């Protein structure tokens, strides 16, 4: 085979594989073009991490994802859970869109115990919250109006949930069911 032709085919194959591994994780999200670099600040634990969780070829960095799982761990039990990459992609896109230095995360993963506790004391949490499955984050961006954050999340998140909490000034985003509140 003509080596030039072969390299074009091989190149296309590589592109298709990279494309295929990237796209299924992010179905249901519009205009996704985050740079794969994210800065998350856990406001309850006051811990921060900056990581390149997605490489230039579209693959995910396992070590970086573990660091993210750790920073977003349950504040009551310290337990960790795998955070969904499509959720990260959405939050990354939100950070980049507003050119925010960091994303303040009020709530990432919640153990069943913590979620049940919050429910019992009357906080506005669902008893089967997507936070218990690593599918949700409650976020705010320093210097960005929460209403703008909500509107942008609403635009971006075609299939998941977006909730607005004006009294606490944060926005809930999840990759569970499509809901708005």
Span near Zn ion by CB under 5 A; candidates 68-76, 78-86, 116-124, 138-146: 138-146
Ordered alpha helix ranges (H), 23-142: 62-71, 85-97, 112-120
Q: Which of 132, 138, 139, 171 binds Zn ion (CB under 5 A)?
A: 138
Instruction: Give the tokens for residue 75.
Output: 């504040």
CB 67 within 8 A of CB 51: yes
Binding of Zn ion by 92 (CB under 5 A): no
CB atoms within 10 A of CB 36: 19
Q: Which of 41, 73, 140, 172 binds Zn ion (CB under 5 A)?
A: 172
Span near Zn ion by CB under 5 A; candidates 5-13, 34-42, 66-74, 136-144: 136-144
Binding of Zn ion by 150 (CB under 5 A): no
Furthest-apart CA atoms within the chain: distance in Å: 70
Separation CA 181–CA 31 (nearest Å): 22
Q: Which is nearer to Zn ion, 64 or 139 (CB)?
A: 139
- Binding stretches for Zn ion (CB under 5 A): 136, 138, 172
């Amino acid at each position: 085979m003509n080596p030039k032709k072969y390299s074009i085919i091989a190149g296309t194959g590589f592109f298709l594989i990279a494309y295929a591994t990237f796209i299924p994780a992010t179905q249901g999200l519009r205009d996704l073009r985050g740079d794969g670099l994210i800065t998350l600040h856990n406001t309850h634990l006051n811990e921060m991490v900056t990581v390149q969780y997605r490489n230039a070829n579209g693959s995910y960095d396992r070590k970086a994802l573990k660091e993210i799982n750790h920073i977003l761990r349950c504040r009551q039990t310290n337990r960790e859970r795998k955070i969904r990459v499509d959720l990260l992609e959405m939050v990354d896109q939100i950070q980049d869109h507003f050119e925010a230095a960091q994303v303040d995360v009020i709530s990432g993963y919640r153990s069943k115990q913590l979620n049940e506790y919050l429910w019992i004391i009357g906080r506005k949490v669902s008893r089967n919250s997507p936070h218990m499955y690593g599918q949700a984050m409650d976020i705010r961006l320093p210097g960005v109006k929460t209403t703008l954050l909500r509107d942008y999340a609403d635009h971006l998140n075609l299939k998941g949930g977006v909730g607005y909490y004006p009294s606490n000034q944060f926005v809930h985003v999840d990759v569970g069911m499509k809901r708005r509140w």
